[in-house]
Amino acid sequence: MKHFIAISDFTPEEIQHILDVAVQLKAEWKQGGNRPILQGKTLAMVFQKPSLRTRVSFEMAMHQLGGYAFYLSPDEIGLGKRESVADVARVLSRYVDCIMARVFDHRHIEELAAYSRVPVINGLSDYNHPCQAMADLLTVMEKKGNLKGLTLAFVGDGNNVATSLAFATAQVGMNFAIATPPGYELPQAVVEKAQTLARRTGSRILTTHDPTEAVRGADVIYTDVWTSMGQEKEREQRLKVFPPYQVNAALVALAKPDVIVEHCLPAHRGEEITDEVADGPHSVLFDQAENRMHAQKAILAILLGGM
């Protein structure tokens, strides 16, 4: 049995298989048909952090595949507080066929997986965001026709989203460039792991403090909020540090003419991205948001339906 915890856990072939299944299931959905391969299956969704896209996309993914998903709020479980993570995993996995958790501490995801009888999906942790990265790759593949050899430039905080993108791009042979302010870089262990993955597929990893260097000639520009959930006390300081890393029209103009711009949402418009870019011709923000559902359908179908 496999869990879906981190992109780096999988082979390039497995990552490509998830993308191929997502394309297939999305095409069927567009034609008005859904494949009820998860009929009778249940997904427990454990939330410590709120989310529009994670909750709705997983609920609709299960619904469209014939299964059932239900939401467990932070107060209902008190993961690691009211009840130990291990006991939550032991109990839930006797009731359901799969657990998705969106947590603050990545150790909670790892502990759920260690004690669960059923697959555990990482819906987000402070370490990474693998479901988002799969939707991001799916969107690039749709817009560009291929992945290998393209360059994705991430501008902003070296956070959990950037971590999964570093792994995901390396796994599919895309080049990854990241520009962060000094002191906000990706953890060195993440960079080293991404470089190891990149050597296997022939892709390149660039880390810099200069956003113009990162985006020059890029096929994809990606950004995320400067202050993530759980970092609210740092907001004032971050607002002083990050303005040079805003994705605006001038920065986008340095990339390829057909560059696409991605953002995992929610966006703090006027901070990390301008309205002009978010609503402009290069933006694929809402195609990307839709693809959360299709990528997660593929993950669920593979874990539970044998595709």
pLDDT in tens, 167-201: 999 999 999 999 999 999 999 999 999 999 999 99
Q: Which two tokens stand for residue 70?
A: 């239900």
Helix axes 285-305, 12-30, angle to 10 degrees: 110
pLDDT in tens, 12-44: 999 999 999 999 999 999 998 888 999 999 999
The catalytically annotated residue of 53, 97, 238, 264 is: 264
Residue 80: left (phi > 0), alpha (psi -120 to 50), or beta? Answer: left
264 among known catalytic residues: yes
Does residue 129 carry a catalytic annotation? yes
Query: Which residue spans of the chain are classified as CATH 3.40.50.1370?
Result: 7-129+291-305, 132-288
Q: What is the pLDDT of residue 297?
A: 98
- pLDDT tens sequence across 124-183: 999 999 999 999 999 999 999 999 999 999 999 999 999 999 999 999 999 999 999 999
pLDDT of residue 232: 87
Average pLDDT, the chain: 96
Question: Which superfamily does 7-129+291-305 belong to?
Answer: Aspartate/ornithine carbamoyltransferase (3.40.50.1370)
CA distance 127 to 259: 28
Which one is catalytic: 3, 64, 108, 132? 132
**Rounded to an integer, what distance in angstroms lies between the CA atom of residue 249 and that of residue 251?**
5
Catalytic-labelled residue, pool 3, 102, 108, 263: 102
- Verify whether residue 287 is a known catalytic residue: no
pLDDT score of 33: 82
Residue 2 clears pLDDT 80, i.e. is over it: yes
The answer to pTM > 0.95 is: yes
Does residue 268 carry a catalytic annotation?
no
Q: Look at residue 1 and tell me whether its pLDDT is greater than 70.
A: no
**Rg of the chain (C-alpha set):** 19
Q: Is the pLDDT of residue 74 over 90?
A: no
Residue type at 98? Answer: C
Q: Give the CATH number of domain 132-288; options: 3.40.50.1370, 3.40.50.1970, 3.30.465.10, 3.30.70.120.
A: 3.40.50.1370
In contact, 110 and 5? CB cutoff 8 Å: yes
| Short-list 256, 253, 261, CA closest to 282 | 261
Which residue blocks in the chain are alpha helix, DSSP H?
12-30, 52-64, 74-77, 85-95, 106-115, 130-144, 160-172, 188-201, 211-215, 235-241, 249-252, 275-278, 285-305
